[in-house]
Structure 1
């Protein structure tokens, strides 16, 4: 029963509302009027949105290139295979990509530490930090273990 009523009345409602649906073209005038702006204000608003989007996109590309630079630096440092994705992200940025100041300082500190550790003086400082008494105790226990194992051996 509901189907028949819906079918009969549905056709009539489509005929009545059919003209109304076609009168609603969604263009800039209706959108501007709905937002309470004049046409000029709406055009300026659209331009401002486009400029902000372009600025956000440029900042995003720059950040991606900076991250790719950091990854490239780490790959070079640890001798890992290079990534073409990072290379393309750096190229897309177009201009010279610089590391953020904080990251550059961290990398410089790491390089200084590695240089100090690789040098002869760096090795001497590591030797000075070794506990000689502990080394003697370990050597004595190792010798005692070897003596005990040789006493148990039938071949010797």
Structure 2
């Protein structure tokens, strides 16, 4: 009966009184091995295996954490958001082991190329003088553009008439 009371109330009493000294030795070699039904050598091997598994889990967790941080860094760069030192530190700790989804890299590269094109067009427009712009506008072949627009509209209209019985 005392065992049940101690088992049920022991932790609660320890927490209320500040913990107190434990009756069993922590990680107590022979007693812990005997309680699990193992010999000392088996218990040591078991503890070693558990430590190796824990290290492997921690390594995988750190890698996943660094990959997520790397993704956040890339998205912050893409959308020009403020940088986060914690994410950059996590990425630096992981080194070259990070995998970034190919779709994301392709999307970011496409955006960068579009920005370069737009910037170059804008820079070209800024560098032109007003006379050069006027000469380009006056040299446009308006009649050619008008005929292309009319043929395109005619093609769209005939396609629409073929596919739609109301027209």
Q: Normalized against structure 1, the TM-score is what?
A: 0.52
Residue 112 (1) aligns with residue 110 (2): yes
Gaps of 5+ in 2: 1-21, 119-152, 154-167
Residue 99 (1) aligns with residue 109 (2): no
Q: Normalized against structure 2, the TM-score is what?
A: 0.49
Q: Distance in 1 between matches of 2:87 and 2:23?
A: 51
Post-superposition CA distance 1:7-50 (Å, at most 9, x none): xxxxxxxxxxxxxxx99545110111111111000000000000
How do 1:26-41 residues align onto structure 2 when only pairs under 5 Å count? 27-41=28-42
Equivalent pair of 1:32/1:39 in contact (CA under 8 Å)? yes
Structure with max Cα Rg? 1
Q: CA deviation at 1:52?
A: 0.5
Residues 1:106 and 1:87: Cα distance change in structure 2 (over 3 Å): closer
Equivalent pair of 1:90/1:97 in contact (CA under 8 Å)? no
Residues 1:58 and 1:111: Cα distance change in structure 2 (over 3 Å): same
How many residue pairs get aligned? The number is 97
Equivalent pair of 1:65/1:97 in contact (CA under 8 Å)? no
Post-superposition CA distance 1:87-124 (Å, at most 9, x none): 1111232x214224xx222431464377579869xxxx
Aligned alpha-carbon RMSD (Å): 3.0
The residue aligned with 1:62 is 63
| Partner SS state of residue 67, structure 2 | helix
The residue aligned with 1:89 is 90
The residue aligned with 1:78 is 79
Residues 1:64 and 1:24: Cα distance change in structure 2 (over 3 Å): closer
Runs of 4+ residues over 4 Å off in structure 1 = 22-26, 113-120
